[in-house]
Amino acid sequence: QSALTQPASVSGSPGQSITISCTGPSSDVGGYDYGYDYVSWYQQHPGKAPKLLIFDVTQRPSGVSNRFSGSKSGNTASLTISGLQAEDEADYYCCSYPSGTTWVFGGGTKVTVL
Amino acid sequence: EVQLVESGGGIVQPGGSLRLSCAASGFTFSDYWMHWVRQAPGKGLVWVSRINSDGSGAVYADSVKGRFTVSRDNAKTTLYLQMNTLRAEDTAVYYCARASHYYMDVWGKGATVTVSS
């Protein structure tokens, strides 16, 4: 149950785009042999509960801003925040379902809006 | 409104036990798998356990296997986490979360567990 690797911090100015990577063994982020993709992303503001941002690599729940988007290439998933806003300053976590029975989170990335 | 509310946190000595509860409302609890996720002070999220919708199956992270037991009472729409043989490294905020397919779409606000002598 190794953790997924994320950069500790990413920063950007208001209006810019930033990308957070999430890398793991191909068996984790790469997904099942069947080709399903189970990477999700969560946003957490200080002292608050996590909030689902992206599921199934690219899907956005209703109510989540379209400034947030997800993608994957090989064993690296990515979360892009476009048009960075002050309210986006938070911690972000990726999560995968590598083994078919257990889940694993990334170490988290602190996003700072300059 | 879909809601999860954890309770039962507190301070316990090493080697002690504690049971967390997670009261669900606003959705058909018995239709969903449920998770426990924890976060040590200043650290990241760590998945702890998952239980299936009827309570017949559960899986655990290696770090808690054999010490923690997840259960549920669908009639009371409540999820539980029985934590035994607690260690200092179990100190964390414990969140319950609703499972939707392979992700967690609804989270509670968390319950704080402190293991200290």
In the 3-class helix/strand/coil scheme, how is chain A assigned residue by residue?
Answer: CCCEECCCEEEECCCCCEEEEEECCCCCCCCCCCCCCCCEEEEECCCCCCEEEEECCCECCCCCCCCEEEEEECCEEEEEECCCCHHHCEEEEEEECCCCCCCEEECCEEEEEC
Residue of chain B nearest A94, judged by CA positions:
B45
What would the pLDDT profile of B61-91 be if each residue is shown by its tens digit?
999 999 999 999 999 999 999 999 999 999 9
* Interface contact A49-B35, CB threshold 8 A: no
Whether chain A has a CB inside 8 Å of the CB on B38: the answer is no
Whether chain A has a CB inside 8 Å of the CB on B111: the answer is no
What would the pLDDT profile of A76-113 be if each residue is shown by its tens digit?
899 999 999 999 999 999 999 877 788 999 999 999 99
Whether chain B has a CB inside 8 Å of the CB on A1: the answer is yes
